[in-house]
Structure 1
Amino acid sequence: MLCIYHESTDPYFNIATDEYILKNLEEDCFMLWRNDNAIIVGKYQNTLSEINYDYVKEHNIAVVRRISGGGAVYHDLGNLNFSFTKSGRDSSLTDFKKFTQPIVDVIQRLGIDARFEGKNDLMIDGKKFSGNAAHIYKNRILHHGTILYASEMRNVSEALRINPVKYTDKAVKSVPKRVTNISEHLKSPLTLDEFTKILMDYVISIYPDSKMYQFTDEDRRKIQQLRDEKYATHQWNYGTSPDYNFKKAVRTKGGLLEMNLDVSKGVIEQVKIFGDFFSERGIEEIEQALTGIHHEESAIRTALSPFEINKYFSNIEVDEIIEAMF
């Protein structure tokens, strides 16, 4: 087994790395890695319905869709991620408990009662510290998971908080659970770097054929290409979301503004605007301008730029229209 310390903290690059290993390296792999602030959404989720858009924008949090299913998770540098990529043809390939057992073993050795519970979670005292997901490609599986070690819990809750009234869709929904950091349960202080080394050493000890691996220049070039052409694109992260209906109202100086959108494959197919604001011109022109564009802020600003907005929405700013659309 190839064992990899992945030093990149670029969320787009790291999620691309998982896919690259799965589809390009023939040997089994175990990788430990961390992401800078990011929300990682499941393959079949509606991205915008899983994130607190305003908070994500304000705090410059990356949003990345992975190739595995499951729910949305928040990553920061206090969270350690692990990936197993293995070949095989039996049912054990999708055994979540088997792949997470090394994590449980290490944490239990630290004197913490960590357990596998439910379908794919690791828990301490009824609180979740690890969520896991998997993706099968031909005869190989990618199993990856989070390990909340010293994450900023306020960011975890705020970044994933969303008003359920805004979106109506049939996408896979994340199920909120109480979460906890491993560091809060340690009897003696242990840095994340120290924990990472303990975990890597343990995995090496249980796989006798394991050896450390560093990505080649060619590996990095191909991962970068996959990052740029897929994982860093709006189309992948937002446009592949299932169809949805969006509704939101905001109170402005000019009155109440309510936006109703029908979105398919990330593109706004229909817009209806309601409210008690005053208008000199028919807002049908605005509705038409917003139809057929991506449900994405820069596209909306571009579509609105030719208009004198105050002629259509008295005392309402473009920023307030944007606020009502996310």
Structure 2
Amino acid sequence: MKFIENNSIDPHYNLAFEEYIFKNLDEDIVLLWRNGPSIIVGKNQNTVEEINMDYVKENNINVVRRVTGGGAVYHDLGNLNFSFITKTESNLIDFKTYNVPIIKALEKLGVNCELSGRNDIVIDGKKFSGIAQSVNKGRVLNHGTLLFDSKLDTLSKALNVKRDKIESKGVKSVSSRVTNIKPYVKDDIDVLQFKQVLLKNIFEYFDQPLEIYELSEDDKNNIQKMVDERYGTWEWNYGKSPKFNYSGYNRFAGGCVEARLQVENGIIENCKIYGDFFGKGDIHELEQKINGLRYNESEVIDALSDVTVEDYLGRISKDEFMKCLFN
């Protein structure tokens, strides 16, 4: 087993980095890495169903889709991610085998933790690690989060979603109580020191010397290509979401408005607008201006920049109408 150092904090790059190693190297690899503030959604999830869109935009939180299943997780610089990428002879998902080294390393730091349910690690019943796996051509990727000193308030707000407005077949995240590791560690260390202690203990567990693997320039160029063509695109992070229906309703001084959308591959396929508003224009015209757009607030605003919404909705403004589409 070998270790690859990756000091990037860009989640688009880091997820491409991890997938590239998973699918292109033959070595057994350990990664310990961090992302700047970001939400990482599972490959089968509906992105807009998992995030608090307004909060994410206001706080410049990245949203990136990964190649493994499971639920959405929050990353920041107080969180440490681990990845074990190894050969396997089985196509079965096995969380326990690959996470015992993490538990044993934490025990050496004085942290009494355990695997819980299918894919969590907990302290006193509170989750600090969510784990996901993928198997591909005789290789297994087992990765997870370690909330060491993360901003748990930001985590709860960024993932606080009003799912009653959205109906889809995407895999839903499960809400759970969370905690940081740092209050339970016997020594006063920061997340980077924690990384070094964890790395040492992982290799001791496997009874192997710590060996570094260096990527070639071609490797790095191929990773960047994956960022440019996939991980950095709206189509991957939002457009890959399962088909969903959205219903948004608000009452304003000028009347009530209900917007119902059918969205497929991130594209608004059908928009219907209902309400008791008084507008002189044919509401079907406004619906048609929205059909075919990406389900993206900025794109819809741009598309309606030359449209006087009040012609269709009476005393209901464009800003008010947008609240029916995205809040």
Q: What TM-score, normalized by structure 2, do the two folds share?
A: 0.95
Which stretches in structure 2 are left out of the alignment for 5+ residues?
Answer: none
CA contact (8 A) 1:280 1:312 kept: yes
Tell me the CA shift for residue 303 of structure 1: 2.4
The reply on whether 1:140 has 2:139 as its aligned counterpart is yes
Percent same amino acid at aligned positions?
45
Q: Is residue 194 from structure 1 mapped to residue 179 from structure 2 by the alignment?
A: no
TM-superposed deviation, 1:316: 3.3
Contact 1:34–1:81 (CA under 8 A) maintained in structure 2: yes
CA deviations on 1:211-238 (whole Å, 9 max, x unpaired) are 1123332222111110111011111111
Q: Secondary structure at the match of 1:6?
A: coil
TM-score with structure 1 length normalisation? 0.95
CA contact (8 A) 2:10 2:36 kept: yes
Counterparts in 2 of 1:42-61, with a 5 A limit?
42-61=42-61
Matches within 5 A, 1:22-37: 22-37=22-37
Gaps of 5+ in 1: none
Distance 1:252 1:31 in 2: 52
1:325 is paired with a residue whose SS is helix
Q: Are the counterparts in 2 of residues 204 and 211 from structure 1 also a CA contact under 8 Å? A: no
Contact 2:35 / 2:77 at 8 angstroms: preserved in 1? yes
Say if 1:116 and 1:123, in contact at 8 Å, map to a contact too.
Answer: yes
2:121 corresponds to 1:102? no
Partner of residue 161, structure 2 = 162
Distance 2:181 2:160 in 1: 22
Partner of 1:205: 204
Code of the residue aligned with 1:72 in structure 2: it is: A
Equivalent runs, 1:310-321 vs 2, <5 Å: 310-321=310-321
In 2: Cα distance, 1:209 partner to 1:46 partner: 42
Figure out how many residues of one structure are paired with residues of the other and give that number. Answer: 325
Q: CA RMSD in A?
A: 1.6
Residue 111 (structure 2) aligns with: 112
- Displacement of 1:314 in angstroms is 3.1
Q: Structure 1 residue 250 and structure 2 residue 250: aligned?
A: yes
- Partner AA of 2:170 in structure 1: A
| Amino acid corresponding to residue 136 of structure 2 in structure 1 | Y
Report the secondary structure of 2:16's partner residue: helix
Aligned residue type for 1:77? L
Task: Give the Cα separation in 1 of the matches to 2:255 and 2:218.
Answer: 57
* Aligned CA distance change for structure 1 residues 286 and 197 (closer, same or farther; 3 Å): same
- 1:253 Cα deviation from its structure 2 partner: 4.3
**Counterpart residue number, 2:265:** 265
**Contact residue 267 and residue 294 of structure 2 kept, 8 A:** yes
Quick check: 1:307 aligned with 2:301?
no
CA distance in 2 between partners of 1:265 and 1:63 (Å): 17
Instruction: Give the equivalent residue in structure 2 for 1:125.
Output: 124
